[in-house]
Amino acid sequence: MRKQKSDPISDVVIVGGGAVGSATAYLLSKEGISVTLILGSTFGKTASWFAAGLLSPLSQTVHNQDTLTSLSSQGFNLHQTLAPELLEITGLDYQARRQDSIYLSKTKEGTAKLETLMSLSKQIKGISGHWLDQNDLRSLDPRIKSASPTSLLIEGTWILDSHGYTNALMQGARRKGARIVNGSVTGITKSGASFQIMVGGNCINTEKLVLSMGPWTNLAKEWLNIAIPVSPLKGQILRIELSGPTLVYSVHNGNDYVTSKPNGLVWAGTTEEDVGFSDNPTTQGRKSIISNVSPFFPAISTGTVKSHTACLRPVTPDGLPILGKTSKSDGIYIATGAGRKGILLSPSMATIICQLISDAKPSVNLCSFSPDRFI
Ligand SMILES: Cc1cc2nc3c(=O)[nH]c(=O)nc-3n(C[C@H](O)[C@H](O)[C@H](O)COP(=O)(O)OP(=O)(O)OC[C@H]3O[C@@H](n4cnc5c(N)ncnc54)[C@H](O)[C@@H]3O)c2cc1C
C-alpha cells in the first residue's frame, strides 16, 4: 500500500465528511495510509454536527439492541481514548465527559425494556446499572418524574459536543496528512480496478472507495448500481435556558430525553419524522418535544428556548448499520445507517473499515451489518 505523500493519488477516497467518514479518515491517516476525504456540500450542517452527543451503549429505542452491543461497546470504549488523543493532536476540546443516565419507563413493556438494559449493562465494560424507586429518583433530582415505580440509573455513560467532535476528527485527519476536499461528488464510475470520482469538475482516482454519506449514501445506486437502502429520519432538538440547579443526568423516556451541556443549556429532544430530506425546524416539532418531555421533566415548560435545530438520521429497514464490503463490486466499503447512534458508533464503524482496508480480521462479527443482506 502506498504511504502518504509518495503519490498524489490516494490509496483510499472517503465520500462523506460526517462523523463516520471523518473518523475513518482520521484512523486511516494515523496508520500512514494516504486518504482523500470529500466532505460534501452539506458538510457542517448534518446530524453529526447537531446530534445531542449522548454516548450510552444502551438504548430504549434501538431495535436489535443485542446485535448492536458489540459495536456499541467498542465505540463507547474508543471514545474515551479518542478524546484526549484528538485534544493533543488538534488542541480541540469537544467536552467529552462522563454524564450518568437515568432511564424511565411509561408502560409495562417499557419496564421490560429496562430489564433488558440492566442485563446488557452487565456485559459492557465501564458502566453499571442500579434500580431506583421513586424515593431514590427524587433524591437524585426532584424535578424528574416517573410514571412507573421503577427507573434505572446507568453510571458511567458519557456525553460530548457533536459539533466539536466531528470538527476535531476532520482536523485530526488533516494533521495526520489526509487531503480534505470541499465539494460534493456528482458521479462515480469504475474501469478495471479503478474508481473515477467526479468532484467539482475534477476527477479523483482510487482503488479503494469508502461510502459514508449518511442518509445520502443511496446515491451509489445512481453511480455504481449498488442499492444501499438508507433513508433520512428527521429529528429536532430544543436548547433551553432553565433557572434552578444544573441537571447532572441525561434522562431518557423512550424516544424522548433531556440532558445538559457545560454552558448550562438543557437540550430536549426529539422527534422521529419520515419527511424525506426536509430538515427545517418546525413549530409542530417544538410543541411535540415540549409536550412529550413535560410529563417526566415538567420544569422544561418554564424555560426559554435559545435555539432549535433539526437534522437527518441515516436509517435502514432493519435498524442496523450497513457496514463492510459489498460483493457487488471489489474495492467498495460502506459505512452508514447508524440511525440514532451514529456519534457513539462512529469510531467503531471507522475501526472496522480500517481493518477491512488493511486486510485485518474485523474486531466485530459483521454478518448482521453486511451490505449484502439487502441484495
Ligand atoms: C436529533 C438527533 C439527535 C441525535 N443524537 C445522537 C446522540 O445523542 N448520540 C448518537 O450517537 N447519535 C445521535 N444521533 C445520530 C447521529 O447524529 C447520526 O447517526 C450520525 O451523525 C450520522 O453520521 P454520518 O457520518 O453517517 O452522516 P452525516 O452526518 O449525515 O454525514 C454525511 C456526510 O456526507 C456528505 N455527503 C452527502 N452527499 C454527498 C456527496 N454527493 N458527495 C460528498 N459528500 C456527500 C454530507 O455533506 C455529510 O458531510 C442523533 C441524530 C439526530 C437527528
* Nearest Cα to Cα of residue 38 among 200, 222, 189, 191: 200
Residues in the chain: 375
| pLDDT for the residue numbered 8 | 56
Q: What distance in angstroms lies between residue 312's CA and the mean position of ligand 1's atoms?
A: 7
| pLDDT for the residue numbered 110 | 84
Start-end of CATH 3.50.50.60 domains in the chain = 12-48+164-230+318-374
For ligand 1, atom 43, the nearest C-alpha belongs to 40
Q: For residue 7, give the amino acid letter.
A: D
Q: What distance in angstroms lies between residue 324's CA and the mean position of ligand 1's atoms?
A: 18
| Cα distance between residue 204 and residue 206, in whole Å | 7
Q: What distance in angstroms lies between residue 263's CA and the mean position of ligand 1's atoms?
A: 23
User: Which residues, given as ranges, of the chain have pLDDT below 50?
Assistant: 2-7
| pLDDT for the residue numbered 62 | 62
Fold of 12-48+164-230+318-374: FAD/NAD(P)-binding domain (3.50.50)
The response to whether residue 316 sits with its C-beta less than 6 Å from ligand 1 reads no
- In angstroms and rounded to an integer, the radius of gyration of the C-alpha atoms of the chain is 21
Peptide bond into 326 cis (omega under 30): no
The response to whether residue 54 sits with its C-beta less than 6 Å from ligand 1 reads yes
Pocket test residue of 74, 79, 341, 352 for ligand 1, highest count of atoms within 8 A of CB: 341
| pLDDT for the residue numbered 111 | 87
The response to whether residue 342 sits with its C-beta less than 6 Å from ligand 1 reads yes
Start-end of CATH 3.30.9.10 domains in the chain = 97-157+231-315
The response to whether residue 60 sits with its C-beta less than 6 Å from ligand 1 reads no
The response to whether residue 43 sits with its C-beta less than 6 Å from ligand 1 reads yes
For ligand 1, atom 30, the nearest C-alpha belongs to 214
- Looking only at the bridges linking them, the beta strands covering 35-38 and 179-181 are parallel
- Looking only at the bridges linking them, the beta strands covering 322-325 and 332-336 are antiparallel
Look up the CATH superfamily of 97-157+231-315. D-Amino Acid Oxidase, subunit A, domain 2 (3.30.9.10)
Q: Other C-beta atoms within 10 Å of 344: how many? A: 30
Q: Could you tell me the three cell numbers for 205?
A: 482516482
ipTM: 0.99
Q: Is 237 exposed, middle or buried (0-12, 13-18, 19+ CB in 10 A)?
A: buried
| pLDDT for the residue numbered 61 | 67
| pLDDT for the residue numbered 221 | 95
